[in-house]
Amino acid sequence: MFLQTGNFFRLARAGYILAREGVFTSLDPNLVPPAAAPLVRFANLFARGKGENAGEALVRALSQIGPSYVKLGQFLATRPDVVGGEIADALTALQDRMAPFGRDKAVAIVEKSLGKPIGEVFVSFGEPVAAASVAQVHRATALYDGKPRQVAVKVLRPGVEGQFARDLRDMYLVAHIAERWSAEGRRLRMIEVVDTLARTVKLETDFRLEAAAASEFAENVAKDPDIHVPQVDWDRTAREVLTLEWIDGAPLSDLERVAAEGHDLKKLGAHVLQSFLRHAMRDGFFHADMHQGNLFVDKQGRLVAIDFGIMGRLGEKERRFLAEILYGFITRDYRRVAEVHFEAGYVPAKHSIEEFSQALRAIGEPLHTINASDISMARLLTLLFEVTALFDMRTRTELVLLQKTMVVAEGVARTLDPRLDIWKTCDPVVRTWIEENLGPKAKIEDAGKSIAELARLATHLPKTLAEAEIAIGNVSRMAEGGVDLSPASLDALAETRRRSDTRLLLGLTVLTVLAAWLFG
């Protein structure tokens, strides 16, 4: 990638603001790559203050550079493996707020996107009630079966996609330079970081994808009595417009209002944490931006989540990993926690399970000797990742996002109930998942799947035996009339043998595993 004039001036401006706010003052020039040391010393000449908190300085700088960099900071807040835990925590304070772009422009975007005059789509369309770098929200009224109902209409900010594309090109340039000239840049996979940010921005700037996330999330929690997700109006949703059910509730950022409306703060605190764990472990699909501004409580006392631009997913292996490590720490079974890491392949087999178990005990035991209100599950996961790094555990992006979301969810729960008992709150959710997925019931279901797979393989056995009979006949004929060693005949014989051996071996393996489970 080549440095063009536009890149140079934009990056120079960004670098100047970072230097002016003192972002580089915490760097020791002797510890950075030799080529960068003079640049760090030069940049620090412009710093307004020296020795300030690097995280706070970075928040100030990113807020001034522009919305794309605010998004970058919010994204890096979910990647403590890249920027470190202290800076990641500071970056959670970044507020994505901008001046609204006005009702008239929003109306024009709605009409163009939906292909109808605003009056045919909505009975009323109000002024913006909130504005951020990607979009702004309007309160409107729409007719459903002839009855008016209030809705929230999210409208994409004009020109935002071009602005993000331009700034992402600058970020890619910096990432390529960092990976080319810095071993640390290669270790942190800076290009991959920008790739992930680019995918996140793409998801956030196509509201059809956010609507799909909201719809899937709503289906997952439909039977949960303590949480509600706004309904998507697909007829009034397009790439640049998202229409959702309007939520009349108290934001969790306004605790006085929540308490004044008679809601039980302690109960809500438990609901926040339990809901997050339930979605992560049961569904493998969780809201990854659970700060107070995105959570409300409605008249029925249910939690209501909004803004589904950032969602996290966990596969079956990751969900089992999460459940078993939490349950292992709750029950103080550190050996099992260690085994789970090795079984998942997260820790290389060259390490000792006993030594790893000992390291985990050093994390877990102190948690059982302090007051319940002082235990932090988020801190537990942070310490766990620090220890696993010593045992060469590879960075798992989905687990890092999970850990960061738990930090935020636990922080929200603590504001509602400062004396929240994390162990008691997490235990029923984790225990239920383990009983349903790792207990006798789950084994019976797994056995059923194995039998179904065996039945599927059995349908191929007649064909396999027929192929084997043909192969034997061919061998007999070759023995009598000579062997054809042409490449075509050798390939055909090898293919027949491979298919027969593979199916028979797979069938025998399934039978052996099933017998060991049933009679072992």
Calculate the CA 399 to chain-centre distance.
8
Inter-CA distances, 16 with 20, 40, 367, Å: 6, 12, 44
- H or E element in which residue 9 lies: helix 5-20
Residues 6+ apart with CB under 8 A from 199: none
Q: Please report the DSSP string for 389-404 in residue order.
A: HHTTPPP-HHHHHHHH
User: In what side-by-side order are the strands of the sheet with 124-131?
Assistant: 124-131, 135-144, 147-156, 241-245
User: What is the Cα–Cα distance from 273 to 263, expressed in whole angstroms?
Assistant: 17
User: What is the Cα–Cα distance from 505 to 484, expressed in whole angstroms?
Assistant: 28
Cβ atoms of residues 63 and 55 within 8 Å: no
Inter-CA distances, 430 with 92, 276, 378, 438, Å: 27, 11, 15, 11
Candidate list 170, 206, 233, 289, residue with the active-site label? 289
Query: Residue 222: exposed, middle, or buried by beta-carbon count in 10 A (0-12, 13-18, 19+)?
Result: exposed
CA atoms within 13 A of residue 297's CA, in its CB half-sphere:
25
User: What is the Cα–Cα distance from 350 to 386, expressed in whole angstroms?
Assistant: 19
Cβ atoms of residues 326 and 430 within 8 Å: yes
User: What is the Cα–Cα distance from 3 to 348, expressed in whole angstroms?
Assistant: 41
User: What is the Cα–Cα distance from 103 to 115, expressed in whole angstroms?
Assistant: 18
End-to-end CA distance of the chain: 60
Mark whether 484 is an active-site residue. Answer: no
AA identity, residue 506 = L
User: What is the Cα–Cα distance from 457 to 464, expressed in whole angstroms?
Assistant: 10
Residues annotated catalytic, as ranges:
289
